Amino acid sequence: MSKEIKLCLVYRDMWQSSGKYMPNASQLVKVAEPIIGMGCWDRIETNGGGFEQIQLLAGENPNDVVRQWTNPFNKAGIQTQMLERGLNALSMFPVPKDVRKLMFSVKKKQGTDIARSFDGLNDIRNLRLSIDYAKDAGMISQSCLCITHSQIHTIEYYINLAKQLIDLGTDEIAIKDMAGIGRPSSLGKIVKGIKNYNQNIIIQYHGHSGPGFSAVSSLEVARAGADIIDVSMEPLSWGTTHADLLTIHEILRDDGFLIKDFDRQSYMEVKKLTQDFIGEFLGYYINPKNRLMNSLLIDSGLPGGMMGSLMNDLEKSNKSINKWLQKNNKKEISIDDLFSKLLNEVNFIWPILGYPPLVTPYSQYVKNVAIVNVLNNIKGKKRWSLIDDNTWDMLLGKSGQLPGQLGNEIVELSKKLNKTFFNGEPQDLVDDTLEKNRGEMKEKGWDLGKDEEELLEFSLHKTQYLDYKSGVAKKKLDEDILEKKNSKSEVSNESKIKKEIVQIGESRYEVEYINEENNSSEEHNPPGQKILSPIEGRVFSTKDPKDRPVKVNDNINKGDVICYIESMKVINAIKSEYSGKILKICFNEGDDIFDDDILFIIN
């Protein structure tokens, strides 16, 4: 008798793996009806991962978006699915127990049925609470095996990991092939090994298509006993996202699987609406490179879910390094060359950093270290000059146990910086914060929201939530869209056009010019030691608005933290290279700055 196999549309992930932003509530509600009309879906991936944070960055209320987006599928009897990061919940850093527990409760009440939980290090200690909290909230607990390929990450390694998760009580197992580098035959053997241990466990395969394995892998895992396959749709299938429904449907049906047919007219309507959303403004944040498959990703293992933001970040890094190259009369570098250098550097440093599976947030950590190393190499500097605190937490064991051993250079650097390794339970390092955050919100006169969902967002994404509430997020996005539109149509940015009367001899002329001047301009700065930005990003005086910032006339010591730069999803503490008195602060709070821009001048 033929085996039935089910399909899940990863509508959330196919956007996040393509670009920076996602559709808003009205757009998602609009596309939900034809998605349901296709008639082939048992599950839809609706939210989770970076979904809530991205909505905040776009000036949208993520709680409103999730409730409106899940509602049509709840009514249609299609299961909704979210992705969460275990110890990190929906954040890029470890989250307290009370916030994690509230998250599952809120997301279930907002209409999400299944919690797909993963730990970026495959440390099951970080998934215990996710399993318990999901089931307590009435959700289906699905635990992930984060797939990568190395001498450590063997078939037996993954089968044993699945056994432990099943013994902890998870309801389902997800094969999370986030970079699409799982070898098809090996993935089939992993699925078969899990089914041999527990034939009733549901197994769902999630594979990105970047290096080209995912269509073959989908067939292999299905033959081995997988129950559900994740797919995406045109115009956002393939590339760094996932294999298309049309291809996977035909492959599985041809092999004899029982699979629901789909309504082609509805497919085309979903395709059209998705293309319309891209045309409205979301396409400005989709790098064309992400629409291509790339076998170079086999070695580096950079995940599809990161590629949307990576290419956006890389454009900024490319602009930043070319600014430095111009300044130093050197040949500029193309973004393709920079990308190739990044892939090579990731290949080199990954074993040295202990073989962390390259999935959020650890893929970002490894990538960030790699890109800084690449930029420093171009400037003739040494590796490892800037490792942010979150990455150090990973290296020191504070985020969980690394699969491999650290390289000698990292061990020596940790000694030099007086870093201490941690062998305990990562969750124990994070204190509960809900009561404190409740107090802060009440002080501001803010509602905690239905089912305390606003409290959850404030607790998970405080910086982005503050920008959303103040209107800063929406304003910045609107300005950025306008700039991109002007750039596309070669229209000058009016805010930069200045007029000046110039006298030549006895004649006076009115001239227009683009003003690129900023407060780090050399001619307006007092003499003294200049502290330069080591990276491009958004600069802040403090990590927390309640902390005291460094001010003019303050005396600082070499090694003191003097500001913070948010770059590529992590916060970098910037330390002074000198001791002395602050003469000038050369940035405004929240400014976007480039590599080697002047931050401070001290005497």
> Position of tokens 């090579």?
344
pLDDT at 518 over 50: no
Portions of the chain given CATH number 2.40.50.100 = 522-602
- In sequence order, the 6+-apart residues with CB closer than 8 A to the CB of 383 are 349, 373, 376, 377, 409
Tokens of 305: 């879910």
Tens digits of residue pLDDT in 165-191: 999 999 999 999 998 999 999 999 999
Give me the pLDDT at residue 568, please.
67
> Position of tokens 């030691």?
529
What is the secondary structure of 304-358 as a DSSP string? Answer: HHHHHHHHHHHHHHHHHHHHHHHHTT-----HHHHHHHHHHHHHHHHHHTT---S
Cis peptide before 361 (omega within 30 of 0): yes
Q: Where are the alpha helices (DSSP H) in 38-116?
A: 51-57, 62-76, 97-109
Q: Where are the alpha helices (DSSP H) in 86-154?
A: 97-109, 128-136
Could you say which of 3.40.190.10, 3.30.365.10, 2.40.50.100, 3.90.1140.10 is the CATH number of the domain covering 522-602?
A: 2.40.50.100
Among 425, 365, 363, CA closest to 398: 425
CATH topology of domain 6-286: TIM Barrel (3.20.20)
Give me the pLDDT at residue 306, please.
63
pLDDT at 408 over 50: yes
Residues 564 and 540 sit within 8 Å (Cβ to Cβ): yes
**b/e code 536-564 from CB counts within 10 Å (16+ = b):** bbbbbbeeeeeeeebeeebebeeeeebbb
Percent of the chain with pLDDT over 70: 92
Tens digits of residue pLDDT in 24-78: 999 999 999 999 999 999 999 999 988 999 999 999 999 999 999 999 999 999 9
With H, G, I as helix, E, B as strand and everything else as coil, classify residue 131.
helix
Residue that wins the pLDDT comparison between 495 and 82: 82
Q: Is the pTM of this model over 0.85?
A: no
Residues 202 and 171 sit within 8 Å (Cβ to Cβ): yes
Tens digits of residue pLDDT in 355-393: 998 888 888 889 889 988 998 899 888 899 888 888 999
Tens digits of residue pLDDT in 550-576: 999 999 998 899 999 887 667 888 889
Give me the pLDDT at residue 308, please.
62
Burial of residue 600 (CB within 10 Å: 0-12, 13-18, 19+) is: buried
Cis peptide before 235 (omega within 30 of 0): yes
Portions of the chain given CATH number 3.20.20.70 = 6-286
Burial of residue 584 (CB within 10 Å: 0-12, 13-18, 19+) is: middle
